[in-house]
Amino acid sequence: MKRIVIGFLLLFSWGLKAQTQLNRDWENPDVNQINRLPMRSAYFPYETTELATKGKMENSSRFISLNGDWKFKWVEKYKDRPLDFYNVNFDDSKWVNFKVPADWALHGYGVPIYVNQPYEFSMHNPTPPTIPGEINHTGSYRRTFTVPDAWNGQQIYLHLDGIKSAGYVWINGKAVGYTEDSKLAAEFDVTTFVKPGVNQIAIQIIRWSDGSYLECQDFQRLAGIERDLYVYARPKVHLNDLNIKTPLDNSYTNGLFTMQAEVFNFTGENKGRTSVIAHIADVNGMQVYCDTMRAGELKMAFGKSIVQFKGTIPNVKAWSAEVPNLYRLTITLLDEKKQVLEVVSRKIGFRTAEIKDRQMLINGKPVYFKGANTHEHDPANGHVISEELMIKDMELLKQANFNAVRNSHYPHCERWYELCDEYGIYVVDEANIESHGMYYDLGHSLGNNPLWEKAHIERISRMVMRDKNFASVVFWSLGNEAGNGWNFMQGYNWIRGYDPSRPIQYERALEEWNTDLIVPQYPDPEWMVQYSKSNPDRPLIMSEYAHIMGNSLGNFQDYWDVIESHPFLQGGFIWEWVDQAIYFEKNGKKVFGYSGDWGKPLNDDHNFCVKGVVMADRRTTPMYEEAKKAHQFIKTKAVDATKGMIEVFNSYFFRDLSNYYLTWNVIENGVVVANGKVENLTIGSRSAKQYTLPIPSQLAKDKEVMLNVRFCTKTDELGVPKDMVMAYDQFNLNDFKYSTIVKPSNGGLSYTENDNTITVKGSGVALTFDKKVGEISSYSFNGKTILVHGAQPDFWRPLVDNDYGAGYNQTNKIWRDPGFSVSASNVTKLENGNVVVSFEKSLLKGDASYKQKFIIDGSGKILVSNDMKAGKTKQPVLLKFGNHLLLPVDFATMEWYGRGPGESYLDRKSANIVGIYKKAIQNLYHPYVRPQESGNRTDVRWAKLLRKDGSGVMIGANETVLNVNALPYSPSQLDAGDVREAVQTHSELLEPDRYIHLDVDLIQAGVGGVDSWGSPALPQYRLPYKDYSYSYWIIPIKK
């Protein structure tokens, strides 16, 4: 055995010396590790049951954390790395102190790099497995740790949970090993390398390796030690892999428990009387299973054994995302004297994941997967994720009715899976494979290159072997965007042979045999309808959809209307959960940085990294609220709403509504006139029940009357606090169409006209119109300015990212300035004393005409009407049809009767119901990382823009509801222009304009929600070039 170790060391030492040669370990796809132990299931072994149950490694006397300060040296070029730094006597006194885990670039060593598809180290002509050029950032680390005397005679292991992308390890000057695959742990047996007392450990990490060709994910390209490091000790006889299976029986009633536990003997002695106890207890600590097995094979010196346990748990409480019931499995290893050697304790869940009758079933039910793609991302720490941040993500997911995540595009840290088990989240566990930069041609793709088979299979198999015991993992994914071919087919076959208990998916397999589900990316809702009608042979769950880049997630409700009304469609995973922005200082302020902020060409995908349901710091967004609404599990429909009769449908598959209560209110023109509560909702899963709410028997006929229902939690649930609204709906109780009622005020006005202006005056009223442009140039009431400029016809908006993706910055830019020319102006005084000012304009080089009329009464109210007649020339779609007005900067708040409280758009307004709301104008803007269109409110009946003293102006709908927006920023401040990538803008750096910018629109186009590189808003949410007309009131408000 000593000769084997010595032989390895000689070989490995030669390998280290050969690093200047072409065939380096980190440029050889056949060398993915040296001396790394085979992967085993995720657990930590403790010395006692009590410690194992608490699950805090740091409390174990067998654990030494290596997190914290290391001596550190970073070089830009691999050739400049220190060559002998691993020697015990090396002088590192001039090296910096550096805390790990940490990504280099976030601490001044290199810069964050974000590109979507290419390889950042070989942007245009990748030549795997070589890393071209001299630049390859290399980090060298040194520190000491102390092995206690109590560890003498134990096996000692080094655990590196995640280093990117490749690294070597030395202890006490001796080469220990090498590892690739940055998202799975590497363990090394260092028993023969360490000594009692102080030990020296050295690690050298290379940023880019052959492994980097398989890690071309759409994320921040960072490097360093990104997860925990530690050393731990185990008895010479200890457990190794634990293969736990916990399906339900065919009736989905009883739990079937099997476990194969490997036990290793690292002594030359007979250890055949070693035994293993498996004990399962429920949440109350009551035993439901216990058995003991002897590892007789350990009679052999240096022997190995597999002991197997089997049992049935009658009437088991099954695990699902809705009801994440867990049991505690405790595995105790005893020596021949029945003394505890080590204990492993973990939570397990009994559940079945399978495909039957072209449906994906959890415990026999065809659940919907309301999911998001999750990258490990922290704006301050990059890929270094704290437990606190993971818990925050869990809470946000549960509170927005998400029930699933796709670990994109790599296995996450072990604690994430434990939390998914506990909180109830279905997991797609995905191998750390994406070679997008090589694309998909079978003659070129690494996925079809047999020379890369070993690298693919290792990443796939190690993921499965580590994560197989987590109840939350219900799918395996072979990788992402790496083409299909031999390596993925072999990967599929390996998983199917090792773990037949879970379906396997892979998007690039398309409809080939090596994916059990169809998991497309970015289909539109109509495509999904056609798939459902095609008599498919497999269920469809979108691996990526609803690409949230900037102001997006339009048509999300459309997706779910289709999913829940058509067979074989079972949901999908939004791209993506969190903005991948990184804190960055610019102009003395901390901003969310994105690609380009750190220079080009290595950061040339601009803000494509910013596309989260939540912001990088986990603040929620308008898209978060829309997703929550579309995902809601409690659905209400009107039976006879005018009599208070509703039907409540519980769309959960595994839980009743006993922990929810219903609140309701009736509003008349936005004002609550009645309310009530239904305390007990006795509705089982997938069942409906009718309720008659005691609403007023006499409903107003001259007001708009609506019924609101909300469903709230009675008590705290894990991740969801008591009294949180989890579902809601709104119903019209009459057919009343709101229109602003204006009390006539006649007479008292006069006007004057010259070549340039028209002036209208009355008691406390003064208006001036600019005849050259056909707009109001000033408007004051009672001595205070109401409008500085306005009612400018407006067909453009600051482009959202999906607008740029659809090419509107080029194809539709005629609407930035359609070339208005005033052809006629007129002013008249009516018999009732009102004054009418009108302008006729031509635009689009005469292809269209526009007429705008202002009727002013004696009290200063103005009825503004807009009428456009489209010509016959083909023109691109409009982005809005409305008016833009400028208000003085001292307007502070907006109160409105319309959809709220958040911003809404034509294709994204389900989350916002009609009511009366009030916000500071500065808070109407949502701070998208890259400034763009923001803050719109739809279906507005009236909006009051107010100063602090209560004076201001009201915008009132006339015959049709409006879109209204008021911002302290100008459209030009929010619009990136014709070339988005030409500027690096940030919401944090916006300075308030000298005016408040008010938009009063008939309609604005949808923001889109399919993808961000070619798909505009769906056809029903676009604004074709045609005739448009609408009107609204401008009404001054006295102090």
Whether residue 13 is found in the same domain as residue 123: yes
Specify the CATH number for the domain of residue 453.
3.20.20.80
Check whether residue 497 and residue 529 sit in a common domain: yes
What SS3 state is found at 487? helix
* Cα distances (Å, whole numbers) of residue 396 to 389, 429, 627, 954: 11, 20, 12, 37
> Catalytic annotation on 481?
yes
SS3 654: coil
Write out the H or E segment, with its range, that includes residue 63.
strand 63-65
Q: Which of 453, 544, 626, 903 is catalytic?
A: 544
Read off the pLDDT of each residue in 67-93 and give the average, rounded to a whole number.
97
Task: Give the model's pLDDT for residue 765.
Answer: 95
Q: Which comes out higher in pLDDT, residue 430 or 604? A: 430
Domain assignment of residue 46, yes or no: no
Average pLDDT on 20-36 reads 83
- What is the spatial distance between Cα 218 and Cα 479, in angstroms, rounded to a whole number? 13
Kindly state whether residue 740 falls inside one of the protein's structural domains: no
Q: Which of 608, 614, 650 is nearest to 632 (CA)?
A: 650
Q: Assess if residue 355 is contained within a domain.
A: no
Residue 254 CB-density burial (10 A; 0-12 exposed, 13-18 middle, 19+ buried):
middle
Q: What is the pLDDT of residue 603?
A: 74
Q: What pLDDT does residue 23 have?
A: 53
3-state SS, residue 808: helix
Look up residue 807 and give its two tokens: 């090419």
Residues 544 and 433 in one domain: yes
Work out the angle at residue 189's Cα, subtended by the Cα atoms of residues 185 and 195, and round it to the nearest 5 degrees.
125
Same domain, residue pair 916 and 1015: yes
Q: Is the pLDDT of residue 1 over 60?
A: no
Helix (H) or strand (E) holding 804: helix 801-805
The confidence band for 602, taking pLDDT boundaries of 50, 70 and 90, is confident
What number of other Cβ atoms are within 10 A of residue 38's Cβ?
11
| Domain containing residue 913 | 750-1037
Please report where in the chains the tokens 């056809």 appear, as a residue.
Answer: 1019
Radius of gyration of the chain (CA): 33
In angstroms, the Cα distances linking 557 to 368, 526, 732, 955 are 14, 13, 19, 29
Across 169-182, average pLDDT: 98
Identify whether residues 242 and 343 lie together within a single domain. yes
pLDDT at position 7, please? Answer: 38
Contact status, residue 327 vs residue 288, Cβ threshold 8 Å: yes
pLDDT over 50 (residue 190): yes
Which amino acid type is present at position 287?
Answer: Q
338 three-class SS: coil
pLDDT digits (tens, 9 = 90+) for 443-459: 999 999 999 999 999 99
pLDDT tens-digit readout, 760-781: 999 999 999 999 999 999 999 9
Q: In this structure, are 621 and 645 located in the same domain?
A: no
Alpha-carbon distances, residue 858 vs 29, 670, 811, 954 (angstroms): 83, 29, 45, 16
* CATH number of 793's domain: 2.70.98.10
- Tens of pLDDT, residue by residue over 688-713, are 999 999 999 999 999 999 999 999 99
SS3 533: helix
419, part of any domain? yes
Worst-scoring range by mean pLDDT, 117-131, 258-272, 400-414, 479-493? 117-131
Residue 123 lies in a domain: yes
**One domain for residues 982 and 1001:** yes
**Residue 27 and residue 15 share a domain:** yes
Q: How many beta carbons lie within 10 A of that of residue 512, not counting itself?
A: 13
Whether the pLDDT of residue 538 is over 90: the answer is yes
- Crossing angle, helix 525-533 and helix 556-563, to 10 degrees? 10
The pLDDT score that the predictor gives to residue 11 is 39
Asked if the bond preceding 435 is cis, omega within 30° of 0, the reply is no
**Final residue belonging to a domain, choices 318, 348, 378:** 348
Distance of CA 540 to the CA centre of its chain: 21
Q: Let me know whether 259 and 304 are in one domain.
A: yes
- The label of the residue with tokens 């606090």 reads 721
Q: Which pLDDT score is estimated for 864?
A: 98
Is the same domain home to 309 and 258?
Answer: yes
Q: Helices 486-498 and 453-467 sit at what angle, rounded to 10 degrees?
A: 30
Q: How confident is the model at residue 6 (pLDDT cuts 50, 70, 90)?
A: very low
CA dihedral sign, ordered 635, 639, 640, 646? negative
DSSP bridge pairs for 334: 275, 340
3-state secondary structure of 388: helix
Which CATH number fits the domain that encloses residue 679? Answer: 2.60.40.10
Question: Which residues does 197 contact at the CB level (< 8 Å), separation at least 6?
Answer: 146, 147
pLDDT confidence of residue 448: 98
Q: What residues contact 844, with CB distance under 8 A and at least 6 apart? A: 814, 818, 819, 871, 873, 875
Mean pLDDT of 971-987: 95
One domain for residues 841 and 764:
yes
388 in a structural domain: yes
18: pLDDT strictly greater than 90: no
Tell me if 341 is assigned to some domain: yes
Judge contact between 298 and 632, C-beta under 8 A.
Answer: no
Region 748-755 average pLDDT? 94
Domain count, the chain: 5
Distance separating alpha carbons of residues 63 and 45, to the nearest angstrom? 10
Annotation says 544 is catalytic: yes
- Could you tell me the two tokens for 975? 């619009």
Q: Look at residues 163, 198, 229 and tell me which one is the last residue of a structural domain.
A: 229
- CA 908 – CA 914 distance, rounded (Å): 14
Query: Mean pLDDT over residues 28-51, rounded?
Result: 97
Query: Is the pLDDT assigned to residue 724 strictly greater than 90?
Result: yes
Q: What is the CATH classification number for the domain harbouring 168?
A: 2.60.120.260
Of 602, 593, 528, the residue nearest 560 (C-alpha): 528
- Find the mean pLDDT for residues 666-695: 97
Give the residue carrying structure tokens 């006397």: 61
Distance, CA of 887 to CA of 789 (rounded, Å): 7
Residue 179 shares a structural domain with residue 254:
no
Grouping H, G, I as helix, E, B as strand and the rest as coil, residue 230 is strand
* pLDDT of 460 over the 70 cut: yes
Q: Assess if residue 784 is contained within a domain.
A: yes
Average pLDDT, the chain: 96
* Cα 927 to chain centroid, rounded: 17
Angle of CA points 704, 623, 371, to nearest 5°: 120
Of 348, 379, 401, at which residue does a domain stop?
Answer: 348
Model confidence at 4: pLDDT above 70 = no
pLDDT at 604 over 90: no
Provide the 8-state DSSP code for 410: S
- Could you tell me if 768 and 973 are in contact, meaning their C-beta atoms sit under 8 angstroms apart? no
Could you count the other beta carbons within 10 Å of the beta carbon of residue 865? 15
- Strand bridging mode 353-356 / 304-313: unpaired
Active-site choice (342, 458, 481, 507): 481
Region of residue 480 (left: phi > 0; alpha: psi -120 to 50; beta: else): beta
Distances (CA, A) of 865 to 494, 837, 838, 911, 942: 69, 11, 9, 30, 16
Alpha-carbon distance 481 to 477, whole Å?
Answer: 11
E-strand spans in 892-933? 893-900, 913-920
